[in-house]
Structure 1
């Protein structure tokens, strides 16, 4: 059986241009977050020593990204309610300002669909923790998207209370983080904000979007808010802040 090799992108820069392989594992509407579209492609170029690649017989089977930032300071006394969007912005603000980061945030760990169920999520997270620790950072934060959440009407604050008999979270991704030593801190209520015209949402989802109100979209964690009169719909996704002390 071919060996799985997990390293930083800095160790194998030839995989830089392949960091968007199997990105279609995300729902189509998730590719329309303006903050993500502005910054995510720059993360591997600026922080390759904090991005992780896993290969099997030369094939890319998983990749992950994290970003360094300064926290806390006089202007950042708490983790942002803006979650994923905001920490991505903070990281590039600090880069442009020449500030010396002391912590990092995970942004993504994506497994090729054919390789799910093989424990790669645990190995990728451990590799990311090690890469961040090697930078001298004291913590790895993560605005986790609990994609096991299937009831869009259930508040995220209630969902994260669901645990198994062994006390671990019911959600698979939250469980991966907790088993790796992470601590669930709080919900980031507006971690990603995706807005579009009704025509755009129809294209992204194949749904009619013809009535004002909340619409349940497959793989969305919460309902999408629709305003037919003003021709727009907005998705405000909550994520869950987790801290890994290193």
Structure 2
């Protein structure tokens, strides 16, 4: 299927802007509650169309099968000598600040590669990552960072990311499938970002998002979460702090 796909950046096909939202079931409901996401997604088709990729069958341009998002930001200055510990949230914040003050970007970060659920397991994620790398090169950048969300981590919510991210198979590649795709594509695992996303809400909100009772103080295992959610019945809130893994792709 991937051989027949058309993958185009939104700046070359602005007529496809509405199709990037024609996906259902991409993420667990709680995962789309990160307030930082609005700083990017709410205006991405206006502010960063060149950083959006849409994939579709040639005869079905209105029915996308995958999408990808990146964001440009400044990095390597005295104030930004290290990638942020708050990974996904942090790089969105940096990029928004850079845009607001007119600061030129020096690097690009991946934010999302999403595959339509019925097309998962077909190798399309690797195809989209390759297209993302090519697009970053097209835009004149030499490095792409990614705060990777390891796809196998929900099966081990109590395993520290610092342990999980560095597990390898006999061939030396990561055990985690999504990290393995990145490394095969030329990515280098740099380090864990311990608070890549932070999602908080009242207990009523978490019950709505997950269908779980959230009626006891302590850690709550939530399907799809990489680590447990911290619940406080006494204070009527729960907080999810998701770790990620910074990966660097360098182009020559």
- TM class, shorter-length: over 0.9
Q: Which residue is 2:39 aligned to?
A: 38
Deviations 1:130-165 (A, max 9, x none): 111122112000001112111100000010121111
Counterpart Cα distance in 1 of 2:178 and 2:50: 23
Counterpart Cα distance in 2 of 1:83 and 1:139: 16
Q: Which residue is 2:105 aligned to?
A: 101
Deviations 1:75-121 (A, max 9, x none): 10100001000101111111111111111000000001111122111
Aligned alpha-carbon RMSD (Å): 1.3
Deviations 1:22-46 (A, max 9, x none): 2532000011101013322322321
- Aligned residue pairs, count: 246
Unaligned runs of 5+ in 2: none
Deviations 1:171-198 (A, max 9, x none): 1110111011000001110110000000
SS at match of 2:54: strand
Counterpart Cα distance in 1 of 2:37 and 2:103: 22
Unaligned runs of 5+ in 1: none
Deviations 1:35-68 (A, max 9, x none): 0133223223211112111101322100000000
1:74 and 2:74 correspond: no
> Is the CA contact 1:69–1:91 (under 8 Å) kept in the aligned structure 2?
yes
2:88 corresponds, among 84, 104, 108, to 84
Moved >4 Å (runs of 4+): none
Counterpart Cα distance in 2 of 1:50 and 1:37: 16
> Is the CA contact 2:30–2:210 (under 8 Å) kept in the aligned structure 1?
yes
Q: Which residue is 2:15 aligned to?
A: 14
SS at match of 2:249: strand
1:124 and 2:125 correspond: no
1:110 corresponds, among 109, 114, 129, to 114
Counterpart Cα distance in 1 of 2:166 and 2:248: 17
SS at match of 2:42: helix
Give the structure-2-normalised TM-score: 0.94
Give the structure-1-normalised TM-score: 0.96
SS at match of 1:184: strand
Counterpart Cα distance in 2 of 1:63 and 1:45: 16
Q: Which residue is 2:244 aligned to?
A: 239
Q: Which residue is 2:231 aligned to?
A: 226
